[in-house]
Amino acid sequence: MGRVYFDNNATTPALPEVLEAMRPYFAEHFGNASSIHHHGQETRAAVERARESVAALLGCRASEIVFTGGGTEADNLAIFGVAQAGDQIITSTIEHHAVLNACRHMEEKGCAVTYIPVDGRGAVDPADVKRALRPNTKLISIMFANNETGVVQPVAEIGKIAAEAGVYFHTDAVQAAGKIPVRVEEIGCDLLTISGHKLHGPQGVGALYVRKGTELEPVQYGGRHERSRRAGTENVAGIVGLGKAAELAGLERGDDRKMAELRDRLERELLRIEASGVNGACENPHTSQSARCAGHPLDQGRRLRVPNTTNIYFDGIDGEALVIALDLKGLAVSTGAACSSGAIEPSHVLVAMGLPPERARASIRFSLGKQNTAEDVEFALSVVPETVARLRELSPVWKGAASTDLRAAR
Ligand SMILES: *Cc1c(COP(=O)(O)O)cnc(C)c1O
């Protein structure tokens, strides 16, 4: 049985070049990057080359990059490092749990947190962010692209609002890097997160961009690694892998256009299934939500979604059941955030967008990667429609498209 992997927003396979770059740093070049002898100097140089590569991807100085143990740690470091008791934090209802739960923890520590809602297209309105500002606002943390819907947030507008108000702006760009341009000057952010394994690098390594002059309190203490911003012996092989992945993440290779073409075909064909639709802003004229997207002021000169993601509901089915049924046929997809699957609660992102819980539970995320091919899309198209039809036959709630046209009811 062939296997097709359409869950790249959960994790991506490392590219062969990434693996090759990492290999020598497990044994041959094993030095501690803090040692002054030859072995240490060798790994130190490799870490600094990787730092240059990540800085080149983000358009910042190498000295502004802090390597971390992944995206979650970078998000935590940004939030815990900047906010203190008495401060207000502004975030959104659709953040990854690495941001949401860090903010909840800061509430327990005496911060006030404002959670900005999203519209039906899954986007934050910058005007809401501006209205939420208080004299004690210290930090705005709004993600660049959502992991469940792929919807791109108006980060440049939010960056301007933050700069005018003199508050720090952090953006979780884990799902944006490698898919759309991520340049810290264009965004106007002070802090930005990326993760190795979401851009065809290794798991367990990430980076936080920290704009020069940002006052960041460390979260872990020890040696003076990472300019005293993140203590602990560097994960040299992981950092080298992240650096190589960053080098290959530039959009000049056209991977983003290729993914968009594949994603658009997949989406267009799947939407032929009755009582289905895309969750989130979309540029695809065949989708049910297109009328609501047209001419929206947020769309001016901005991509609506990253090119690899489509989140689709099939009314009357249970998303978990569909994921399992498709897995048996060799297609890996997801009901949303990997960390929350198995949970009974419907996706917090889809619920925040105003989907009724039963439609949120009937939704599936397809997320493509650089390795996917046109054949992969055809395989998905050969198994998804029949599986949806079979699950609907078994469904006690499915009585045909007309009975579940929730769209009309909204
Ligand atoms: C995966 C992900 C993270 C967490 O990154 P890890 O490296 O897995 O800790 C954070 N934010 C978003 C949007 C993600 O998709």
pLDDT tens figures, 296-309: 444 445 579 999 99
Cβ atoms within 10 Å, residue 27: 8
Cα dist. 405→65, 274, 361, 399 in Å?
49, 10, 15, 11
Q: Can you tell me the distance from the alpha carbon of 97 to that of 314, in angstroms, rounded to the nearest whole number?
A: 25
Is residue 339 part of the annotated active site? The answer reads yes
E-strand ranges in 202-336 read 206-210, 276-278, 309-314, 331-332
For CATH 3.40.640.10, list the domain ranges present in the chain: 16-251
- Under the banding of pLDDT at 50, 70 and 90, the label for residue 209 is very high
* Angle of the 374-394 helix axis to the 319-328 helix axis, nearest 10: 130
- How much is the average pLDDT of 362-371? 97
Tell me which amino acid residue 198 is.
K
Q: Whose CA is nearest to atom 15 of ligand 1?
A: 147
- What is the per-residue pLDDT across 288-343, written as a single tens digit (0 to 9) for each? 443 334 444 444 455 799 999 999 999 999 999 999 999 999 999 999 655 455 55
- What is the per-residue pLDDT across 131-171, written as a single tens digit (0 to 9) for each? 999 999 999 999 999 999 999 999 999 999 999 999 999 99
- How much is the average pLDDT of 260-286? 88
The token duo for 211 is 């704009």
Pocket test for ligand 1, best of 195, 208, 349 (most atoms within 8 A of CB): 195
Q: Do residues 87 and 136 touch, judged by C-beta distance below 8 A?
A: yes
Per-chain mean pLDDT for the chain = 92
DSSP code for 152: B
Q: What is the CATH number of domain 16-251?
A: 3.40.640.10
pLDDT value of residue 105: 98
- Cα(279) to ligand 1 centroid in Å equals 20
Q: Do residues 114 and 91 touch, judged by C-beta distance below 8 A?
A: yes
Q: Can you tell me the distance from the alpha carbon of 347 to that of 208, in angstroms, rounded to the nearest whole number?
A: 27
pLDDT value of residue 308: 97
Q: Do residues 179 and 307 touch, judged by C-beta distance below 8 A?
A: yes
* Angle of the 255-270 helix axis to the 374-394 helix axis, nearest 10: 30
Task: Give the residue with greater pLDDT, 405 vs 264.
Answer: 264
Up-side HSE of residue 202: CA atoms within 13 Å toward CB?
21
Residue with tokens 């903010």: 103
For CATH 3.90.1150.10, list the domain ranges present in the chain: 254-408
- Cα(174) to ligand 1 centroid in Å equals 6
Q: Can you tell me the distance from the alpha carbon of 163 to that of 184, in angstroms, rounded to the nearest whole number?
A: 13
Q: Which sign does the torsion angle of CA 304, 69, 98, 166 carry? A: negative
Residue 3 has pLDDT above 50, yes or no: yes
Q: Can you tell me the distance from the alpha carbon of 142 to that of 115, in angstroms, rounded to the nearest whole number?
A: 10
- Under the banding of pLDDT at 50, 70 and 90, the label for residue 42 is very high
Residue with tokens 């394994």: 197
Q: Can you tell me the distance from the alpha carbon of 281 to that of 299, in angstroms, rounded to the nearest whole number?
A: 9
Query: Which residue, 359, 289, 333, is CA-closest to 119?
Result: 289
Residue 406 has pLDDT above 80, yes or no: no
Residue 402 has pLDDT above 80, yes or no: no
398 Cβ contact list (under 8 Å, min separation 6):
315, 316, 317, 392, 404
Q: Can you tell me the distance from the alpha carbon of 238 to that of 158, in angstroms, rounded to the nearest whole number?
A: 32
Residue 264 has pLDDT above 70, yes or no: yes
Residues in the chain: 410
Pocket test for ligand 1, best of 12, 147, 152, 306 (most atoms within 8 A of CB): 147
Pocket test for ligand 1, best of 72, 180, 341 (most atoms within 8 A of CB): 72
- What is the per-residue pLDDT across 58-74, written as a single tens digit (0 to 9) for each? 999 999 999 999 999 99
Verify whether ligand 1 is closer than 6 Å to residue 195 (CB atom).
yes
- Cα(72) to ligand 1 centroid in Å equals 6
Q: Largest alpha-carbon pair distance within the chain?
A: 73
Q: Can you tell me the distance from the alpha carbon of 62 to that of 393, in angstroms, rounded to the nearest whole number?
A: 57
pLDDT value of residue 79: 98
Q: Can you tell me the distance from the alpha carbon of 338 to that of 267, in angstroms, rounded to the nearest whole number?
A: 21
- Cα(242) to ligand 1 centroid in Å equals 14
pLDDT value of residue 161: 98
- Cα(78) to ligand 1 centroid in Å equals 14
Q: Can you tell me the distance from the alpha carbon of 95 to that of 139, in angstroms, rounded to the nearest whole number?
A: 15
Verify whether ligand 1 is closer than 6 Å to residue 71 (CB atom).
yes
- Under the banding of pLDDT at 50, 70 and 90, the label for residue 396 is confident
Query: Which residue, 131, 76, 67, 73, is CA-closest to 102?
Result: 76
| Predicted TM-score of the model (pTM) | 0.94
Verify whether ligand 1 is closer than 6 Å to residue 175 (CB atom).
yes
Residue 384 has pLDDT above 90, yes or no: yes
Q: Give percent of the chain above pLDDT 90.
A: 86
Class at the top of the CATH hierarchy for domain 254-408: alpha beta
pLDDT value of residue 407: 47
